[in-house]
């Protein structure tokens, strides 16, 4: 009986596996037959930009991956910018329509999009923007357009930036679950929520100065493109002068109030007058597939661009995790490739493991001995993110980059209070004085705390020495801008933590200049698993993802994000060089 049951189970399992393979085969065949030739770009076309997915600097799937753009949960900023640059010189593309709500991108990524759209306009082509709802970041992007339109019953959020930090001291005392923390740096506020009930003056000062600098950068760009003085923009924000469409128009933030069909009619009227043809809209995702086959830079000499994005953790790494495995492998390949003349390390990270950061820093030093290494900072290059950047020959940051945070800390969970309340007593036995490991069921001993504190101090001084050597300043000078303090790109340049304000493209151009090459192509690293491989991994872990999504649906996005943040803190191992707080810009 058991034999028959097992035999039938084997048959069903085999049929199921063949079924999956057959479906994937059909998908693969359809994708292989739908390459660049399948994307038809008609005359009199308008490129429609609708950013519906989260944006990462780089997806790493590669042009040769037939599943590229199918299974990725995010859009690559590099591909978006490339598509717009190709469209600039495509005679069939007459203009761009930004029709987007709730852009899922960082502030510096949004700023990069604005810059390439502004360059697109320089060709004489138009950029129009329409919204049913403009968040501040949505409007920041839209404000670069020649004309901005809002739905008659739409909403615009324009009130200035803010940040919220949650504090858990009372919660720890009530539950008996706490985080034991050890830190260096008076501004290292990543652990402050576990020590205090309210924000310290030092933390309030740095957050205020940071978001003020970011807001000033946004206002400067909006002011230039909308022709409104920055002080007037602040008055509009203070008085909520964009809270209704009519006020937004009266104050010059938008050009007209239209329904979407009227907006499309405006574009059609303008183009028909010139071409006497129908308007053809082409989606950004579709045009990007066409644009991927168009090289804007080419040559036998290459500039390697290595994307380091996400939290820094010990190990291999991946699309959203910086590990020494993939990053160092990419650095070594670029260093040893005779065709690569310079290296650009694109950093977008809030930090993480100090050990991993130092391992990557060392590989940057070795690469620098053979060819120029330039860093381009994205939305965030803080703590460990700055650590791996500090040794580069030259550092570029965006004005809205969040960087610095040169400081370290350690967190150790402890449930002694809860264990005592519910009647759990843990006893340890060891052979030597220090042979017993730390127990989360017992209060942290002075001896163990001293060990952790010593490690923190050594790591901090090492971090500081890397910064001092890389920036060619004294330890005292490095310490004066360290202590875990975070800065905007503008302030970081003023303080000497970065060399220039500029985009990734600016960093690539400078790397080529330092290498003495004029004609060159770009070679991107690392290569991640293909879309098919990631899909199959996700398929096998579907139950875990479903559980995660159910939790999010039940408790809501805000509570879910808090849960994930606490979970991240609980899972930290070793000394951390990490961003001191989570900053959400709305």
Name the one residue in this structure whose structure tokens are 């009986």.
1
Q: What is the DSSP string of 233-277?
A: HHHHHHTTTTSSHHHHHHTTS-SEE--HHHHHHHHHHHHHHHH-S
What strands, in cross-sheet order, belong to the sheet with 126-134? Answer: 256-257, 147-156, 126-134, 93-99, 45-49, 280-283
* Number of Cα atoms under 13 Å in the Cβ half of residue 120: 32
* Number of Cα atoms under 13 Å in the Cβ half of residue 162: 7
Number of Cβ within a 10 Å radius of residue 104: 15
Question: 3-state DSSP call for residue 255?
Answer: coil
25: part of which helix (H) or strand (E)? helix 2-32
What is the C-alpha to C-alpha distance for residues 140 and 117, in angstroms, rounded to an integer?
Answer: 12
Number of Cβ within a 10 Å radius of residue 146: 14
Is residue 91 part of the annotated active site? The answer reads no
Radius of gyration, alpha carbons of the chain: 26
Answer yes or no: are the C-beta atoms of 366 and 400 closer than 8 Å: no
What is the C-alpha to C-alpha distance for residues 270 and 302, in angstroms, rounded to an integer?
Answer: 42
- Paired with 147 in beta bridges are 128
Q: β-strands 45-49, 280-283: how paired?
A: parallel
What is the C-alpha to C-alpha distance for residues 263 and 46, in angstroms, rounded to an integer?
Answer: 13
For residue 564 the two structure tokens come to 């994930």
Active-site pick, 115, 188, 335, 524: 188
What is the C-alpha to C-alpha distance for residues 154 and 245, in angstroms, rounded to an integer?
Answer: 7
- The length of the chain in residues reads 586
Backbone φ and ψ for 534, nearest 5 degrees, come out as -65, -35
Backbone φ and ψ for 184, nearest 5 degrees, come out as -130, 130
Active-site pick, 135, 213, 383, 405: 383
Of 364, 383, 382, 384, give the one whose Cα is nearest residue 374. 364
SS (H, E, C) 275-337: HCCCCEEEEHHHHHHHHCCCCCCCCCCEEEEEEEECEECCCCCECCEECHHHHHHHHHHHHHC
What is the C-alpha to C-alpha distance for residues 384 and 322, in angstroms, rounded to an integer?
Answer: 10
Angle, alpha carbons 385-389-390 (nearest 5°): 115
What is the C-alpha to C-alpha distance for residues 205 and 196, in angstroms, rounded to an integer?
Answer: 16
Is residue 188 part of the annotated active site? The answer reads yes
Number of Cβ within a 10 Å radius of residue 34: 12
Q: β-strands 321-322, 351-353: how paired?
A: unpaired
Backbone φ and ψ for 221, nearest 5 degrees, come out as -70, -45
Active-site residue set: 188, 383
């Amino acid at each position: 009986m058991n034999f028959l049951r097992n035999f039938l189970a084997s048959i069903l399992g085999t049929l199921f596996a063949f079924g999956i393979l057959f479906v994937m085969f059909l998908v693969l065949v359809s994708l292989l037959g739908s390459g660049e030739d399948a994307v038809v770009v008609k005359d009199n076309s308008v490129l429609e930009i609708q950013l519906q997915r989260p944006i990462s600097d780089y997806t790493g799937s590669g042009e040769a991956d037939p599943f590229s753009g199918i299974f990725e949960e995010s859009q690559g900023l590099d591909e978006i910018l490339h598509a717009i640059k190709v469209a600039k010189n495509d005679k069939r593309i007459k203009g761009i329509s930004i029709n987007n709500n709730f852009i899922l991108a960082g502030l510096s990524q949004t700023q990069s999009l604005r810059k390439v759209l502004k360059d697109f306009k320089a060709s004489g082509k138009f950029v129009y923007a329409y919204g049913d709802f403009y968040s501040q970041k949505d409007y920041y992007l839209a404000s670069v357009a020649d004309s901005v339109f809002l739905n008659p019953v739409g909403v615009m959020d324009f009130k200035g930036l803010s940040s919220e930090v949650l504090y858990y001291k009372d919660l720890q005392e009530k539950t008996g679950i706490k985080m034991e923390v050890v830190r260096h740096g008076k501004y290292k506020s990543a652990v402050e929520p576990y020590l205090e009930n309210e924000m310290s003056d030092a933390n309030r000062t740095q957050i205020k100065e940071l978001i003020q600098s970011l807001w000033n950068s946004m206002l400067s760009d909006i002011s230039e493109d909308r022709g409104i003085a920055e002080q007037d923009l602040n008055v509009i924000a203070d008085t909520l002068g964009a809270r209704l469409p009519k006020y937004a128009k009266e104050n010059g933030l938008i050009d007209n109030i239209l329904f979407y069909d009227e907006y499309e009619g405006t574009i059609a009227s303008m183009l028909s007058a010139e071409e006497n043809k129908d308007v053809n809209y082409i989606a950004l995702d579709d045009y990007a597939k066409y644009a991927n086959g168009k090289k804007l830079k080419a040559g036998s000499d290459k500039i390697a661009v290595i994307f380091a994005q996400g939290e820094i953790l010990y190990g291999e790494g991946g699309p959203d995790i910086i590990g020494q495995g993939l990053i160092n492998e990419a650095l070594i390949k670029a260093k040893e490739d005779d065709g690569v003349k310079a290296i650009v390390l694109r950093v977008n990270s809030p930090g993480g493991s100090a050990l991993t950061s130092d391992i990557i820093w060392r590989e940057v030093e070795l690469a620098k001995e053979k060819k120029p290494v330039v860093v381009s900072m994205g939305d965030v290059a803080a703590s460990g993110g700055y650590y791996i950047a500090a040794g580069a020959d030259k550092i570029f940051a965006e004005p809205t980059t969040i960087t610095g945070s040169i400081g370290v800390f350690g967190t150790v969970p402890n449930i002694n209070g809860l264990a005592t309340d519910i009647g759990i007593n843990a006893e340890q036995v060891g052979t030597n004085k220090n042979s017993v490991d730390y127990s989360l069921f017992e209060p942290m001993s002075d001896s163990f705390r001293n060990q952790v504190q010593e490690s923190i101090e050594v790591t901090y001084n090492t971090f500081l020495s890397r910064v001092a050597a890389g920036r060619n300043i004294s330890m005292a000078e490095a310490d004066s801008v360290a202590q875990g303090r975070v800065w905007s790109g503008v302030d970081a340049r003023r303080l000497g933590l970065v060399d220039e304000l500029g985009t990734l493209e600016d960093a690539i151009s400078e790397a080529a200049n330092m290498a003495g090459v004029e004609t060159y192509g770009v070679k991107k690293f690392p290569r991640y698993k293909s879309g098919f491989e990631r899909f199959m991994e996700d398929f096998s872990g579907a139950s875990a993802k479903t559980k995660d999504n159910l939790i999010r649906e039940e408790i809501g996005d805000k509570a879910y994000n808090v849960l994930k943040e606490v979970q991240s803190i609980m899972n930290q191992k070793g000394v951390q060089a990490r961003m001191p707080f989570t900053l959400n810009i709305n």
